[in-house]
Amino acid sequence: MTSFKMLTPGGPWAALDGSINAPTGTPQYPTLLNGYAARPPWKVAGVDYRVGIKTDVTLLDPATLPSGSYGTSTPGIYAESTSTESGNAGVVWLIGDNNVLNGYDLSLVTAHSNTASWIIISKGNNNTITNCNLKVNAATSIDPNRYMICSPIGHGAQSFSGLTITNCVIDGNAGSEHASVNYAATVVWDQNRLVCEYNWFKNSPNDIIDFFGDCLIQWNLFDTEALHNTGSDADGIQTDNGTQSSEGGTMTPLVNFNTFYQPAYVTGNDSTRVAQSGFGFQSQSNGSGTVDASHIVNGTLNNNTLVILGKTNVGLGLGVGGSDSANNTVSGTSIQNNYLDITGITAQGGVSILVNNDTGSIIANNINMSDGSTIAPEH
């Protein structure tokens, strides 16, 4: 697993921005930052280098994996094509520790009588998903309280540590092609230690990543959220409240050098959709008292690029929430050196950087790309 380290503003950029080890090929949006008064001095994920599956990988069919399920006792990687874990989606299970799922096409319609695509559930520690293509096809119904990649849901309390997702394309396929899809989030890891690098997350009906615990999320492209056809409370990245493990705890989220792109909606019901936020940390345990409280300590939300053209309430957020907000805390967190196009936030009457109830956080040098001005936080 990638080691966790603090990334702070400053150069040399090549050693930090992810470009050295990025996959080859044409970036997803090479002209996205053209014409701005100011743009990041580093190479930007999805703009100056491509993210996603490496070009030399030949994808395999998950149906070729051995058959298994939640109750399988032998560690390994298994496929359950007729699973009832989440709607009619098939499940690829990572059972036990240190599994590596490398180079599979989970968009293939080999689950449930060749109609539904696949999701991934990790039941173990330090498992890795790399060079995989996931897409919710039009015949797949994912339960509204389930996800495309997650820990086991509905099996009682779980306690795992470590999930790494790298070089994947993860397509929620929400919007015009599959407008009824309405699962809660693309990736939910409400355990400890999530690593996401060089992924292309796109077309999510609701949230993209919900996490609880330490995480390292860097060099990814977050491309379009809030596509559920009745609207959604969608966030690019947000802290979860740990419903699978414990309600409380201390976490250090490191979210740096990512790109968030929220295009303007222009047709039909799209014009009424509003995203909640780009990237945000919220200490939001719903427990009771100091034992169950959650604490975000020394997190970083630095050097990200956000192009927000569709209506959005908050660009970057940091604060305290949940029903136990009196005991939840945020301290020592950095929000620095981010570059934003706030067009969609302004159109919504939203807040570019929202900070509340934090202690000792540093919010500085966050730039409005349209005119080069510094964006002041609101409290």
pLDDT of residue 295: 83
Q: Name which residue leads in pLDDT, 115 or 317.
A: 317
Count of structural domains, the chain:
1
379, part of any domain: no
Q: Which of 158-167, 203-212, 261-270 has the highest mean pLDDT?
A: 158-167
The DSSP string of 163-227 is EEEES-EEE---SSSSTT---SEEEEE-SEEEEEES-EEE--SSEEEEE-S-EEEES-EEE----
pLDDT of residue 358: 82
293-320: average pLDDT: 88
6, part of any domain: no
pLDDT of residue 283: 66
377, part of any domain: no
How far is 204 from 207, CA to CA, in rounded Å? 7
How far is 295 from 313, CA to CA, in rounded Å? 24
Joined together, the tokens standing for residue 291 give 């034992």
Peptide bond between residue 27 and the one before it cis (omega within 30 degrees of 0): no
Q: Name which residue leads in pLDDT, 365 or 190.
A: 365
Q: Which of 7-11, 72-76, 224-228, 318-322 has the highest mean pLDDT?
A: 72-76
Contact of 62 with 79, CB cutoff 8 Å:
yes
Distances (CA, A) of 300 to 235, 242, 320, 334, 339: 17, 20, 16, 5, 15
Sheet holding 169-171, edge to edge: 133-135, 169-171, 200-202, 221-223, 259-262, 305-308, 339-341, 367-368
- Asked if residue 54 has pLDDT above 50, the reply is yes
Q: Whole domain around residue 119: which residue ranges?
A: 13-368
Which of 53, 47, 49 is closest to 260 using CA atoms? 47
374, part of any domain: no
pTM tops 0.85, yes or no: yes
75, part of any domain: yes
233, part of any domain: yes
Contact of 300 with 255, CB cutoff 8 Å:
yes
Residue 170, burial from CB neighbour count under 10 angstroms (0-12, 13-18, 19+)? buried
272, part of any domain: yes
- Beta-bridged to residue 263, according to DSSP, are none
| Residue 271 pLDDT class (50, 70, 90 cuts) | low
pLDDT of residue 221: 97
Joined together, the tokens standing for residue 326 give 């009196």
376, part of any domain: no
Measured from the Cβ of residue 15, the count of other Cβ atoms closer than 10 Å reads 10
How far is 330 from 340, CA to CA, in rounded Å? 23
